[in-house]
Amino acid sequence: MTQVTDHGGGVHSIKVPIPDNPLGHTLVHLVDTDRGPVLIDTGWDDPASWDTLVAGLSALGTAVTDIHGVVITHHHPDHHGLSGQVREASGAWIAMHEADTAIVRRTRESEPGTWLDYLTRKLAAVGAPDDHLA
């Protein structure tokens, strides 16, 4: 069942699942504006997450095609993952800080091995045990 919350003042949240993650979900916020609904974050790029986002919007009386804009709070994929699909469905603008945009682009353009090597070096630098790095 899709969980939505009305926070008052035209602000709502939708609990969007993050598959196979102990966090469980991302809260996607819908803000009613005079130009149309704006999402704050979009959730993880996964079919179940997309279905939950669409169902949550519907429960709030909004269709994904109605979304006017998207504000991404930071570069983590559970916050920006569905932004492309939202834009494709609605034509919405997307706003993200340029530093976060650079991280997303660099990550997507890198070979997976490069990204894993980078993460391994960072984890080793802060003292992660060797058996956690293998």
Q: What is the C-alpha separation between 68 and 32, in angstroms, rounded?
A: 10
What's the token pair of residue 109?
């353009």
| 1, pLDDT greater than 90 | no
Residue 122: pLDDT band with limits 50, 70, 90: confident
What are the structural domains of the chain? 4-96 (3.60.15.10)
Q: What is the C-alpha separation between 100 and 72, in angstroms, rounded?
A: 9
- DSSP at 105: H
Residue 68: pLDDT band with limits 50, 70, 90: very high
What's the token pair of residue 114?
């490069």
pLDDT tens string 82-112: 999 999 999 999 999 999 888 888 877 878 7
